[in-house]
């Protein structure tokens, strides 16, 4: 149901029946390793290319979510998915394997919440009994497509971020127990004229704040009612800028409960410069770590704000700036 | 031994210039190496790079700027021998070892190695 | 306040960019410079060493020794790239590994290795010069321009 200008309230409160999270060797060394369903010690997953490895992880995450929910893939009505690859091949090819009616999305690193918001809308409005939201990213395939070959010797600046190798999926449907998706705010594309692809945190921060403002305004909700507000992958730089912007716009905001998935997934000893990024970043942290914390009773109401930088290697070469977007989804238990 | 010290200082100096181009002018590695190659070609044409190589040895011939100089020297030498067309035929003469080696061994590397991330 | 560079940015965008710049961690320019200088210098010393070996123990002159010297450095760089070591050294040394001819070899080797998954003809063959292309293109073109100008000046001078 529409609330305000760009937000949805899900009156039937679709339940997160189960989640599946997959990670690679680098993620296995991080502090959230316990929250992954599957961890691989080989970034190739025994496949012939990074791209094939990424789609395998996405398949695994989706199958795991369906399995943990005690459901069958054939009973899931819709599969919504996206990723960073050109023509979102990871999602399309995983969808081919899963065989569930498929809706491909592109939100770059914000795809996790874009897909979750849409899946919740389908279930809440009666357009689906069960909907599967998923996304993936792979460090090797992302670097190859957006930046340089992985063995290339370029020096990354301190604002650069590390793309997470992983995949996350969440199955939504009618249910009595567990975490429920209660509302979502669809973001607008925000472009502040920044064009450095090695500093995406700064480009994405305005989009996150724009969506947070819209969420508070549309849903007439006090942001202090959330136990945790987590942005997707603003990283060290973007997260600080977001705090500055929130203060500048005088938005009442619980700063001490404001985190960033990109800063949670790796620990300080891992060489990731400004933090993690990639579609899988917000997906694995939200669907794994944060949902687990909710199930343990540590968090009752959270707002996940995934952010995405909507550039392509070509747009950068053509001297375009980086338009960004953010989707906010509230989950309560 | 003096040769080694000069190689270290001049070579390090040219690399330092490259680092400053990247950090202060925010050039990408590609733009930086292109600038150095063009600079090497211009200096080579002005007759200033060869003396630098005599002075600093590998300190001037190992950085990518010497590539620009070598291309110019090849073009000039051949054009002095056979006229204008020599510019086209001579350009790769001096540098062919470097480019050929890079291509051949990179291809062999692709046969043997996988990216490690 | 607007500058020519910011001609197409709205005042709000310009204001934001100032905020973003203030929060951008400074690059450690001095540290990077020292590392680039030292590592770059050492690679050149290695080149000088190769040159010494080739002129002393093999039949090369000072001039002709540059061919095996460059080739040796290229092979070394390709090997380090294949073993996954060059990119780690490069993160540390920046310009010190990009500027020497070893950087050139690394661009070709890393592209070739990376694109093997797309096959040997289109993948390896088609992408080999992806990052090295600008250096070769501009090197050749600037050499051409310089040589032509010099040729014209000398011809005119000779007349």
Name which of B4, C43, C92 is nearest A154 in CA terms.
Answer: C92
C81 touches B at CB < 8 Å: yes
- Give residue B101's pLDDT band: very low, low, confident or very high (50, 70, 90): very high
Q: Phi first, then psi: what are they for C30, rounded to 5°?
A: -65, -45
Give Cβ neighbours of residue C141 (< 8 Å, ≥ 6 apart): none
In angstroms, how far is the first alpha carbon of chain C from the final one? 56
pTM score, whole prediction: 0.93
CB contact under 8 A, B72 and C32: no
Q: Is the pLDDT of residue A177 over 90?
A: no
The reply to whether residue A193 touches residue C13, judged by beta carbons under 8 angstroms, is yes
CA torsion sign for C57, C62, C68, C71 is: positive
Maximum Cα–Cα distance for chain B, whole Å? 50
A/C interface, count of CB pairs below 8 Å: 100
d(CA A262, CA A137): 13
Q: Which residues of C are less than 8 Å from A245 in CB distance?
A: 16, 19
> What mean pLDDT is predicted for residues A298-302?
96
Residues of A in contact with B117 (CB under 8 A): 43, 139-140, 150
pLDDT, residue C159, reads 58
Average pLDDT of the residues in A221-246: 95
For C64, counting Cβ atoms within 10 Å of its Cβ (0-12 exposed, 13-18 middle, 19+ buried), the class is middle
- The Cα–Cα gap between A231 and A281 comes to 10
B108: pLDDT strictly greater than 90: yes
Average pLDDT over residues C90-111: 95
C156 has pLDDT over 90? no
Could you give the CA distance from residue A116 to residue A132 in angstroms, rounded to a whole number?
Answer: 8
Interval B21-72: pLDDT, tens: 999 999 999 999 999 999 999 999 999 999 999 999 999 999 999 999 999 9
**Residue C6 pLDDT greater than 60, yes or no:** no
- The A-side interface with B (CB below 8 A) comprises 43-44, 50, 139-140, 149-151, 154-155
Average pLDDT over chain A reads 96
Compute the nearest-CA separation of C70 from chain A (Å): 19
CA distance A134 to A118: 11
CB of A34 less than 8 A from some CB of C: no
* Pairwise CB contact (< 8 Å): B75 & C114: no
- One-letter-per-residue 3-state SS of B30-70: HHHHHHHHHHHHHHHHCCCHHHHHHHHCHHHHCECHHHHHH
> Is residue A272 scored above 70 in pLDDT?
yes
Residue C14, both tokens: 């310009």
- Cα–Cα distances in angstroms (integers) from residue A149 to residues A45, A319, B50, C47, C109, in the given order: 19, 21, 35, 26, 10
In angstroms, the separation between the Cα of residue B29 and the nearest Cα of chain A is: 7
Give CA–CA dist A102/A81, Å, rounded: 8
C82 and chain B: CB distance < 8 Å anywhere? Answer: yes
Residue of chain C minimizing CA distance to B76:
C147
The secondary structure of chain C in percent helix, strand, coil, rounded to multiples of 5, reads: 80, 0, 20
Q: Of A132, A122, A54, whose CA–CA distance to A90 is shortest?
A: A54
Give the domain extent around B42: 2-112
- Give the SS3 label for residue C94: coil
What is the C-alpha separation between A270 and C155, in angstroms, rounded? 62
Strands (E), chain C: none
pLDDT of amino acid C7: 58
Contact list in B for residue C150 (CB cut-off 8 A) is 45, 76
Q: Where residue C155 falls among pLDDT bands split at 50, 70, 90?
A: confident
Residues C119, C124, C130, C133, Cα dihedral to 10°: -140
Q: For residue B117, is it within any domain?
A: no
Which helix H or strand E contains C63, and what residues bound it?
Answer: none
The CATH homologous superfamily for domain A15-173 is Stage V sporulation protein AD (3.40.47.40)
Query: A191 to chain C: which residues are within 8 Å by CB?
Result: 13
pLDDT for C8 beyond 80: no
Partners for A (CB, 8 Å, 3+ pairs)? B, C
CA distance A24 to B53: 48
Tell if the CB–CB gap between B107 and C112 is shorter than 8 Å.
Answer: yes
Put residue A297 in one of left, alpha, beta given phi > 0 → left and psi -120 to 50 → alpha.
Answer: left
- Per-residue confidence band for C59, with pLDDT thresholds at 50, 70 and 90: confident
The neighbours of chain B, by the rule of 3 or more Cβ pairs under 8 Å, are A, C
Q: Is the pLDDT of residue C1 over 50?
A: no
Bridge partners of C109, per DSSP, are: none
Contact A155 B22 (CB under 8 A): yes
Average pLDDT over residues C106-112: 96
Q: What is the rounded average pLDDT of the residues A211-220?
A: 96
Q: Give the alpha-carbon dihedral of C97, C102, C104, C110, to 10 degrees.
A: -90
Q: How many domains does chain B have?
A: 1
Q: Which two tokens stand for residue A259?
A: 């985190």
- Give me the pLDDT at residue B14, please: 97
For residue A267, give both structure tokens.
């620990």
Q: What is the pLDDT of residues B1-10, one digit of tens each?
A: 889 999 999 9
Who among A192, A199, A274 is closest to C16 (CB)?
A192
Measure in Å the smallest separation between the Cα of C143 and chain B Cα atoms: 5
Three-state secondary structure readout of chain A: CEECCCEEECCCCCEEEEEEEEECHHHHCCCCHHHCCEECCCCCCCCCCHHHHHHHHHHHHHHHHHHHCCCCHHHCCEEEEEECCHHHHHHHHHHHHHCCCEEECCCHHHHHHHHHHHHHHHHHCCCCCEEEEEEEECHHHHHHHHCCCCCCCCCCCCCCCEECCEEEEEEEECCCCCCEEEEEECCCCECCCCCCCCCHHHHHHHHHHHHHHHHHHHHCCCHHHCCEEEECCCHHHHHHHHHHHHHHCCCCCCHHHEEEHHHHCCCCCCCCCCCEECHHHHHHHHHHHHHHHHHCCCCCEEEEEEEEECCCHHHHHCCCCCCEEEEEEEEEC
Given a cut of 60, whether residue C5 has pLDDT beyond it is no
Torsion of CA C97, C103, C105, C108, to 10 degrees: 130
Would you kindly state where each structural domain of chain C is located, as residue ranges?
A: 30-128, 129-159
Q: Which helix (H) or strand (E) holds B14?
A: helix B2-23
The fold adopted by the segment(s) A180-332 is Peroxisomal Thiolase; Chain A, domain 1 (3.40.47)
Burial of C121 (0-12, 13-18, 19+ CB in 10 A): exposed
Q: Which of A153, A206, A236 sits opposite C16 (nearest CB)?
A: A206
Round the average pLDDT of chain B to a whole number and report it.
93
Q: What is the spatial distance between Cα C152 and Cα A274, in angstroms, rounded to a whole number?
A: 53
Please check the confidence at residue C45 and state whether its pLDDT lies above 70.
yes
**Contact (CB, 8 A) for C77 and B43:** no
B60 and B52 Cβ atoms separated by less than 8 Å: yes
Domain locations along chain A: 15-173, 180-332
**pLDDT band at residue C3 using 50, 70 and 90 as cut-offs:** very low
Burial class (CB in 10 A: 0-12, 13-18, 19+), A171: buried
Domains A15-173 and A180-332 share a fold: yes
Name the β-bridge partners of A305: A231, A328
Say if the Cβ atoms of C104 and B3 lie within 8 Å: no
| B27 touching C (Cβ < 8 Å) | no
B37 to chain A nearest CA, in Å?
18
| pLDDT at residue C122, rounded to an integer | 94
- Write out pLDDT tens, residues A1-26: 999 999 999 999 999 999 999 999 99
Contact at CB, B117 and A150, closer than 8 angstroms: yes
Which candidate, A37, A17, A39, A169, places its Cα nearest to that of A98?
A169
Distance CA A314, CA A317 (A): 5
Structure-token pair, residue A197: 């692809």
Strand-pairing partners, residue A214, are none
> C9 — phi, psi (to 5°)?
-100, 140
């Amino acid at each position: 149901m529409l609330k305000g200008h760009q937000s949805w309230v899900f009156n039937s409160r679709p339940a997160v029946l189960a989640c599946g999270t997959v990670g690679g060797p680098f993620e296995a060394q991080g502090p959230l390793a316990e929250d992954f369903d599957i961890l691989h010690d080989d970034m190739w997953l025994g496949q012939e290319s990074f791209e094939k490895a990424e789609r395998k992880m996405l398949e695994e995450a989706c199958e795991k979510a369906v399995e943990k929910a005690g459901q069958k893939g054939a009973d899931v009505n819709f599969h919504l998915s996206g990723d960073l690859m050109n023509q979102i091949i990871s999602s399309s090819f995983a969808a081919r394997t899963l065989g569930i009616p498929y809706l491909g999305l592109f939100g770059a690193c914000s795809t996790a919440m874009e897909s979750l918001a849409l899946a919740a809308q389908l279930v809440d409005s009666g357009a689906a009994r069960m909907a599967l939201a998923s996304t993936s990213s792979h460090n090797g395939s992302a670097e190859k497509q957006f930046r340089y070959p992985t063995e290339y010797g370029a020096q990354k600046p301190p604002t650069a971020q590390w793309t997470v190798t992983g995949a996350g999926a969440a199955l939504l449907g009618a249910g009595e127990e567990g975490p429920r998706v209660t509302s979502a705010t669809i973001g607008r594309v925000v472009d502040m004229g920044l064009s450095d692809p090695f500093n995406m945190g700064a480009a994405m921060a305005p989009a996150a704040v724009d969506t947070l403002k819209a969420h508070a305004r549309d849903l007439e909700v006090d942001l202090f009612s959330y136990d945790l507000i987590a942005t997707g992958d603003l990283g060290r730089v973007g997260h600080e800028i977001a705090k500055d912007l929130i203060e500048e716009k005088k938005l009442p905001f619980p700063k001490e409960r404001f985190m960033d998935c990109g800063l949670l997934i790796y620990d300080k000893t891992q060489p990731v410069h400004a933090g993690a990024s990639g579609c899988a970043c917000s997906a694995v942290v939200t669907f794994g770590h944060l949902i687990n914390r909710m199930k343990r009773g540590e968090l009752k109401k959270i707002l996940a704000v995934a952010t995405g930088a909507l550039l392509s290697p070509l747009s950068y070469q053509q001297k375009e700036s980086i338009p960004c977007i953010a989707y906010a989804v509230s989950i309560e238990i | 031994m003096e040769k080694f010290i000069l190689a270290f200082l001049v070579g390090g100096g040219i690399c330092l210039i490259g680092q400053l181009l990247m950090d202060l002018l925010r050039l990408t590695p590609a733009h930086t190496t292109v600038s150095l190659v063009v600079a090497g070609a211009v200096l080579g044409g002005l007759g200033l790079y060869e003396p630098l190589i005599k002075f600093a040895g590998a300190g001037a011939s190992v950085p990518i700027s010497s590539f620009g100089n070598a291309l110019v020297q090849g073009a000039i030498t051949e054009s002095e021998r056979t006229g204008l067309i020599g510019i086209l035929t001579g350009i790769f003469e001096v540098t062919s070892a470097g480019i050929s080696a890079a291509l051949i061994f990179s291809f062999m590397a692709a046969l043997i190695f996988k990216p490690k991330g | 306040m607007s500058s020519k560079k910011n001609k197409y940015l709205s005042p709000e965008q310009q204001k934001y960019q100032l905020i973003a710049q203030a929060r951008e961690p400074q690059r450690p320019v001095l540290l990077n410079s020292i590392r680039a200088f030292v590592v770059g210098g050492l690679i050149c010393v290695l080149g000088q060493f190769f040159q010494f070996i080739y002129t002393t123990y093999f039949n090369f002159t000072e001039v002709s020794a540059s061919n095996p010297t460059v080739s040796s450095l290229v092979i070394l760089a390709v090997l380090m790239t294949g073993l996954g070591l060059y990119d780690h050294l490069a993160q540390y040394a920046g310009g010190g590994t990009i500027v020497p001819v070893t950087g050139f070899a690394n661009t070709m080797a890393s592209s070739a290795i990376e694109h093997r998954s797309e096959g040997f003809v289109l993948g390896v063959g088609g992408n080999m010069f992806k990052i090295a292309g600008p250096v070769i293109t501009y090197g050749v073109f600037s050499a051409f321009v310089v040589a032509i100008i010099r040729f014209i000046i000398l011809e005119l001078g000779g007349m």
